[in-house]
Amino acid sequence: MPTATTQTNHVLLEVKNLSKSFRGLMAVQNYHVRLVEGEILGIIGPNGAGKSTVFNLFTGHLRPTDGSIEFRNIDITNAPPEEIASLGIGRTFQNIRLFGSMSCLGNVIAALQMKERQNLLEAVLNLSRFREQEKRLESQALALLALFNLQEQVNAPALSLSYGDQRRLEIVRALALNPRLLLLDEPTAGMNPHESAEVIRLIKRIHDDYTLTIIIIEHNMPLVMKVCSRIQVLNYGEIIAEGTPEKVRNDPRVIESYLGRAG
């Protein structure tokens, strides 16, 4: 079971009144969330409800039209993606974005190396400090890849991986940043039931092992119900329901937006 009971109730992410419009079309309207450390939040909703837009606003890939985002009490509303990443938000993408020509190992090391500094001169002269650093990065990357059962493919180019493996590699890469908050955009999309069950197990495990706070966007309802302590339902860019899985499941507005008006 998740050790969510031991959390210290620190607010990690505070989003108020967040809106984004694309040429007048409101993609996200008045979105808000207060995320406590250690929580797993699920965001669900039909296609085009603005779920991925919310992630892109959190990570600075899009700039909000209105509202504010605070992460660890730092205002990141208009910060660029690089800065937000270095503050500790790691993410995956709905349409997988790997470094295709690089090996799995290279993909993970590219993320791991961000918390270390290398000196160009040391690298060029191949000094022992640089060599040790490279060795350490490699062994850390191998351990992370093994955790997600990718140890067989470490030297394969990322693009040659199967779809499910690519999704898992992207999670490993995000995890390699050692983030405080992990944003997973449809982590089980395109996977068979067996693979998704495995990924659910891994998400739970990294949540416990790394004391991570996680937000998951998913279409896979059983997954969301199983993993998340709290769920937000978006439709047309607005939160239409929020609460525990049981509460959300029985909410008439949710049923309506997913199944259509009954009668």
Partner 1 sequence: MKQDRSTTIVSLAGIGLAFLALWLLHAFGGYYIERIVIGVGINLILVISLNLANGFTGLFSLGHIGFMAIGAYASAILTLPLSLKSTNLPDLPSFLARTQMAFLPAVLIGGLIAMLVAFLIGLSLMRLTGPYISVATMGFLVIVQVVLTNWDSMTRGARTFAGVPEYTNVWNVWIWAMLVLYIVWRIKFSSFGRKMMAARDNEIAARSLGINVVASRLLAFCLSAFFTGVAGALWAHFITAFSPKSFYFSQTFSVVTMLVVGGLGSLSGSVVGVMLITLLSEILRNAERGFAIGPLVIPEVYGASQVIMAILFVLFIVFRPRGLLGDAELDVRKFFKREKEVAG
State the residues that interact with partner 1 by CB under 8 A. 59, 61, 80-83, 85-86, 90-91, 93, 97-102, 105-107, 109-111, 113-114, 116, 118, 120, 123-126, 130-131, 134-135, 138, 173, 177
Please identify, using beta-carbon distances, which residue of 36 and 110 lies nearer to partner 1.
110
DSSP H or E segment with residue 32: strand 25-36
The answer to whether 15 and 41 have CB atoms below 8 angstroms apart is no
- Please, which residue, 9 or 126, has the CB nearer to partner 1? 126
Shortest gap between Cβ of 74 and partner 1 (angstroms)?
A: 15
Task: Please report how close the Cβ of residue 43 comes to partner 1 at its closest, in angstroms.
Answer: 18
Centre a 10 Å sphere on the Cβ of residue 38 and count the other Cβ atoms it contains.
22
Q: Which residue number, 118 or 244, has a Cβ lying nearer to partner 1? A: 118
Q: Compute CA 196 distance to the chain's CA centroid, rounded to the nearest angstrom.
A: 16
What is the distance between the alpha carbons of residues 251 and 242, in angstroms, rounded to a whole number?
Answer: 9
Nearer to partner 1, 132 or 256 (CB): 132
| Residue 178, phi then psi, degrees to nearest 5 | 55, 55
Q: Both tokens of residue 156?
A: 């394969």
Residue type, 161: L
Tell me whether residue 20 or residue 173 sits nearer to partner 1 (CB atom).
173
Q: In the complex, what is the shortest distance from the CB of residue 236 to partner 1, in angstroms, rounded to a whole number?
A: 26
CB of 123 to partner 1, least distance (A): 4
Which residues have C-beta within 8 Å of that of residue 9, sequence separation ≥ 6?
Answer: 36, 37
From residue 242, alpha-carbon distances to 10, 42, 55 in Å are: 20, 10, 17
CB of 178 to partner 1, least distance (A): 11
Q: Cβ of residue 101: shortest distance to partner 1, in angstroms?
A: 6
SS3 helix, strand, coil % of the chain, rounded to 5? Answer: 45, 25, 35
Q: Which residues pair with 74 in a beta bridge?
A: 71
Closer to partner 1 by CB, 66 or 138: give it: 138
Of 123 and 189, the one with the shorter C-beta distance to partner 1 is 123
Q: What is the nearest approach in angstroms of partner 1 to the Cβ of residue 57? A: 13
Distance CA 253, CA 235 (A): 10
**Residues contacting 219, CB < 8 A, separation 6+:** 44, 186, 189
